Amino acid sequence: MERIFLGIDLGGTNIKAGCLDHNFNLLCKTAAPTDADLGPDAVIDRITDTAAKLLSENGLTMESVEAAGIGSPGTLNIAEGMVISAPNFPKFRNIPLRDMLSRRLSKPVVFENDANAACWAEYRAGAGKGVNDMLFMTLGTGIGGGIISNGELVHGYFDNAAEFGHIIIQKDGRGCVCGQQGCVEAYSSAAATAKRAGEALQAGAKSSLRKIFETNGDVTCKDVFEHCAQGDRLAVNIVEGTCSALGLLCVNLLHITGPQRIVFAGGMIAAGQILADKIRYFFEQYIWHLKPEPVEICLASLGEDAGIIGTAALALHAEQQGKL
């Protein structure tokens, strides 16, 4: 029987689980509500139940699982497999998630942060395939990141490397949820894009977005991109603000890690190729002229499955390296 790898993507709303074979084929997947408020033990129960159900419904058994991987949000101690704290998981304080899950599944478990897991998925099976030096950014409520350098994830000594969203691009700039000012996340996340549009509308800017704003009291990032595509001047300005900050971020990061490819993921990439093109445009405005920079800027290809593919692929990687 072929051995398979179980990937678990722990989110604030849903637990996703999937099975991967050695060739990165996603054999099956499922999702269940997390109910994070019930605390770590209940969440571990939910994960193991979800995994067991997934296997049995697809004619698989726990015996065929070689190892599992789990991706978690929050601040983590990767080496210890601990969740130190996570905003959507108020009862998770210094929780040894990796070892708790490993005991329950009776399998080795690989532990990673959610953005790094998605980054690994794109690197091995998605838009980063064939590239050994890659940067990855998720554009959602916040901005998460991942670095592949010479074929390996970069964690940093304290496991907080690749927090791209909190790179400061504007001295004394907009306040960020993290407490810093001028973080790129405060300009270019989906939430910040919607917020900047709302502020302009509140201040009286003329826009085709006004009707939505008057009805709902705010606008979404999706609204802004839709009205940008229709040529609304305010929406175009807001989107260009988002993309210019991301272009600047790409320049700064290029000078640190020298990537061959930069992959954007997250809800905002539903806007399509226009997003990558606009980021590229601003990147070209800001980059030095000492030499051409042929770095590719593109969109992720695995969508919502990146978390489960990445965690399972990390378990596979650990097996191949003899690290299970």
Residue 19 CB, nearest distance to Zn ion (Å)? 36
Give CA–CA dist 76/156, Å, rounded.
12
Hey, what amino acid is at 247? G
Bridge partner list, 29: 18
Q: Is 292 helix (H, G, I), strand (E, B) or coil?
A: coil
Residue 17, token pair as written in the block: 């689980």
Nearer to Zn ion by Cβ, of 149 and 180: the residue is: 180
Exposure letters 192-226 (e unless 16+ CB within 10 A, then b): bbbbbbbebbeeebebebeebbeeeeebbbebbbb
Residue 165 CB, nearest distance to Zn ion (Å)? 6
Task: Decide: 219 and 238 in contact? Cβ < 8 Å.
Answer: no
What are the angstrom distances between the C-alpha of 317 and each of 110, 146, 307?
A: 10, 17, 15
Residue 168 CB, nearest distance to Zn ion (Å)? 8
Q: Where are the beta strands (DSSP E) in the chain?
A: 4-10, 14-20, 26-33, 65-72, 75-77, 82-85, 109-113, 134-139, 143-149, 152-153, 261-265, 296-299
Nearer to Zn ion by Cβ, of 101 and 183: the residue is: 183
- Phi, psi torsion values for 12, nearest 5 degrees: -60, -30
Nearer to Zn ion by Cβ, of 33 and 156: the residue is: 156
Cα angle value 77/107/22 (rounded, 5°): 95
Nearer to Zn ion by Cβ, of 176 and 263: the residue is: 176
Nearer to Zn ion by Cβ, of 180 and 301: the residue is: 180
Give CA–CA dist 220/115, Å, rounded.
23
Nearer to Zn ion by Cβ, of 84 and 298: the residue is: 84
Nearer to Zn ion by Cβ, of 185 and 305: the residue is: 185
Residue 107, token pair as written in the block: 């399998």
Residue 187 CB, nearest distance to Zn ion (Å)? 10
Residue 141 CB, nearest distance to Zn ion (Å)? 13
Residue 234 CB, nearest distance to Zn ion (Å)? 25
Which residues contribute to the site for Zn ion (CB under 5 A)?
166, 176, 178, 180, 183
Residue 287 CB, nearest distance to Zn ion (Å)? 24
Residue 174 CB, nearest distance to Zn ion (Å)? 10
Nearer to Zn ion by Cβ, of 170 and 208: the residue is: 170
